[in-house]
Amino acid sequence: MSAPPPSSNGPVDRVTLGMDISEATRLLRRASGPGVPAVLWRFPSQQSRAMPCLSDGSVWVGGWGPRLHRLSEAGVPRWDGETPVDGEPVRLAAAPSGAIHAVGARQVEALDADGTRRWLAKPSKTLNPACAVGPEGQCYVTDKLHLYALDPRDGEVLWTRSQTPARREAPPTIGPDGTIHYVTANDALIAFAPDGREKWRYDQFEKLRQPIFGDLCGEPAVDADGNVYLQTRDGFLRKLDARGVEAWSVPAAPPSGVESRPALDGQGNVYACSGHSVVSVDAHGKPRWTRPLDDVAARVVGNPLGGVVVSLGNGGLRGLDVDGAATWGMAGLRVNGEPIFGPHGILYVGTGEEVLALAPLDAYQPPVPQKAGTVEQHEGWIVVNGVRVPVRPVGS
């Protein structure tokens, strides 16, 4: 029986002569519609609002309660114990040394991978439940009016900076050179060097002569070159260079909440929540696409493989590829914090009282194609629903 002739009709009309087999597979999956990611494992944390944190090949789980857990990447429990750090929630941050930092309402604790305490610090009577760790291991926490830098060896305060009120659950964002990007409650963005010296300040509300409390949306994102990306409530997505000078701005409706931040993928693209849509621009600010959604886009997280993961306001996750096409979705999830990509492309999600590990994007399985038919594989070509598609092996 001879193979059917090549055709440009149907869902495979973008598959052309000589296309790599992996690219052909990607396009065929898109033609089948969004799929459902495979759940590799689930871990019940026995506390509400579980949130994962990755450190040196381990998955740590914290949340609203004093109990902490350390799991292997395969979800196997390795250690669990209670921390004296109190607060709702207890937030975690990883250090380059493999230590984990837990911060609550009054204390910060640093733990080794086996649960041994390195130090316990109380830099202020009341702390905000958020922290960040720099490339040299310094831990940064805030209270109502201060930013503290803690020594990675013993938790002693290295320096303090008094500022206008900090956002309660917004940790500083650390750049690749250790620069600390600190957003105040009245929407100033201040960049500090690791030694505490102020490098620059971006006061958007003064520039626009607008009222206080209303210009910066969420937290900034920082790329490998130290460029900063942020959204402002006047309806723009902006890029600042490493000196704090605005490089470009493009229209983007304000996100739904202050916890949202722009996202970066592994291909230089920038993504931002924009009401019931996600917008994407390239590194030069050129608009790429706008993807409407059936729910409010609450958060976006860049996928190292390209594309973005979107947390929806009423629950659920949506995966978009670099072209804005919906590749997968999960409904009914109440996601806590930001989903986190691991080094092997696994996506870790805190939801309700458990943590989920979702298979990498390349392993997501699409649903049954909308058109009935079969897929046949042959040397140099495949047949999809009676349509012959020429392909070439990967690497040829």
Tens digit of each residue's pLDDT (9 = 90 or more) over 315-342: 899 999 899 998 889 988 888 888 999 8
Which residue, among 60, 117, 97, has the nearest Cα to 337 in the 3D structure?
A: 60
Say if CB 347 and CB 331 are below 8 A apart.
no
Taking residues 50-75, report their average pLDDT.
85
Q: How far apart are CA 355 and CA 188, in angstroms?
A: 34
Residue 265 burial (C-beta neighbours within 10 Å; 0-12, 13-18, 19+) = buried
Which residue, among 35, 13, 39, 25, has the nearest Cα to 326 in the 3D structure?
A: 35
Q: What is the mean pLDDT of the chain?
A: 79
Taking residues 266-288, report their average pLDDT.
91
| 211-333 has CATH 2.40.128.630 classification | yes
Which residue, among 117, 51, 140, 56, has the nearest Cα to 87 in the 3D structure?
A: 51
**What are the backbone dihedrals phi and psi of residue 79, each rounded to the nearest 5 degrees, phi first?**
-165, 145
Question: Residue 266's pLDDT is what?
Answer: 80
Domain boundary assignment for the chain: 1-33+369-396, 211-333
Structure confidence at residue 374 as a pLDDT band (50, 70, 90): low
Which residue did the predictor score with more confidence, 365 or 380? 380
Question: Residue 205's pLDDT is what?
Answer: 55
Helix (H, G, I), strand (E, B) or coil at 29: helix
DSSP tag of 118: E
Which residue did the predictor score with more confidence, 374 or 65? 65
Which residue did the predictor score with more confidence, 148 or 359? 148
Structure confidence at residue 260 as a pLDDT band (50, 70, 90): confident
- Token pair, residue 322, equals 């670099």
Is the whole-model pTM more than 0.85? no
- Token pair, residue 17, equals 């002569």
pLDDT at 257 over 80: no
Q: How do beta strands 19-20 and 387-392 pair?
A: parallel
Tens digit of each residue's pLDDT (9 = 90 or more) over 194-242: 999 999 998 765 555 454 444 566 789 999 999 999 887 778 899 999 9
Tens digit of each residue's pLDDT (9 = 90 or more) over 100-159: 999 888 899 999 988 899 999 999 988 887 889 999 999 999 888 889 999 999 999 999
